Structure 1
Amino acid sequence: MTGGTKEKTTARRRGKPIEVWVTDEEKATITARAKEAGLARSAYLRALGLNTPVKSVVDLGAVTDLVKVNGDLGRVAGLLKLWLAEKRGEGANAVDVETVMMEFRRLQVAIGMKMGDIVKAHK
C-alpha cells in the first residue's frame, strides 16, 4: 500500500504535439464539440485532422429520450382507449375518438422513424 497517497500515472503520449492557435471562443466551441462526441479535445482534433468520422453521443441520448416519449405516448393512448371503453356513449363520439387514436399511431410511427434515422447515422 502507498500509505494513503495516490500514485500519479503519467499520460501515455502518442507522439509529437501540434500547436494550433485559437481564440477563447474557438477553444470553447472545440471543447463543447469534443464533449458531444465523447472524446478528449486532442482525440477530437486528431480525428478531424485525419478525416475520421466523428459521431455525436448527444444524438444517441436524444434517441433514448425519444424512446421514453414514445412509450409514454403509447401508454396515454392505451389509457384513453380503456377509459373510452368503460364510458362508452358518454362524451366524445366514436369518429372523434378514432381520429385521436389514428393521430397517436401516426406520432408513434414518426418518432420511430426519427429514432431509426439517428441510429443509422451512427453506424
Structure 2
Amino acid sequence: MSEEKKSGKKRSHHLRVPVFDDEKDAIEAQAARAGMSVARYLREVGQGYQIKGVVDYEQVRELARINGDLGRLGGLLKLWLTDDVRTAQFGQSTILAVLSKIEATQEEMGKVMTKVVMPRSEL
C-alpha cells in the first residue's frame, strides 16, 4: 500500500486517455464485470495487478440449489441401499429414476459451474 493511501490523502492527478466509443464500452463492461469503478479498474490494470472478476451471485445460488437437490436424491438412494423400512416399497424403476435424476442434476451443475469459471469472452 502506498504511503499516500495510508495517510488518507486524496489522489490529485488525472490522466487523460483518448479512446474510441467501442473501447470505452469495452473498458466499462470489463470494470463492471470485475465489480470496480472504471477509474479503479484502469488504475489496477495500469499497475500490473491481475483483475479477478466477481462471481455471479445468481449462479452461486443456482449451484447451492442444485447441490441441495443432489443431497436429497443421495439421501433417498442411501436409505434404499441400507434397506430402510421407509424405502421398502421402492421398486427397481424408482431407483433407476433416482439414479437418472442424480446424473441429470450433476450435468446441470457442471453447466452452471462452467458459466461461473469460464471467462465471458470464451463462452
Q: How does 1:20-99 map to 2 (within 5 A)?
A: 20-57=17-54, 59=55, 61=57, 62-75=59-72, 77=73, 81=77, 85=87, 87-89=89-91, 92=93, 96=96, 99=99
- Residue 93 to residue 17, structure 1, CA distance change in 2 (3 Å): closer
Aligned to 1:16: 13
Task: Report Cα offsets for 1:56-92 as digits up to 9, x if no partner.
Answer: 11x25233432232123323x1586479925323x61
TM-aligned CA deviation for residue 99 of structure 1: 4.4
Number of residue-to-residue matches in the alignment:
98
- 8 Å CA contact 1:38–1:56 kept in 2: the answer is yes
Percent identity, aligned pairs only, is 32
TM-score by length of 1: 0.56
CA RMSD of aligned residues (A): 3.8
TM-aligned CA deviation for residue 15 of structure 1: 2.9
Aligned to 1:8: none
Aligned to 2:103: 103
TM-score by length of 2: 0.56
Distance 2:87 2:10 in 1: 67
TM-aligned CA deviation for residue 54 of structure 1: 1.1
Distance 2:69 2:60 in 1: 14
- Residue 86 to residue 23, structure 1, CA distance change in 2 (3 Å): farther
Give structure 1 regions of 4+ aligned residues with deviation exceeding 4 angstroms. Answer: 78-84
TM-aligned CA deviation for residue 48 of structure 1: 0.4
Highest relative contact order (Cα 8 Å, sep 6+), 1 or 2?
1
Segments of 5+ residues of structure 2 without an aligned counterpart are: 1-8, 81-85, 118-123
Distance 2:101 2:31 in 1: 42
TM-aligned CA deviation for residue 34 of structure 1: 0.7
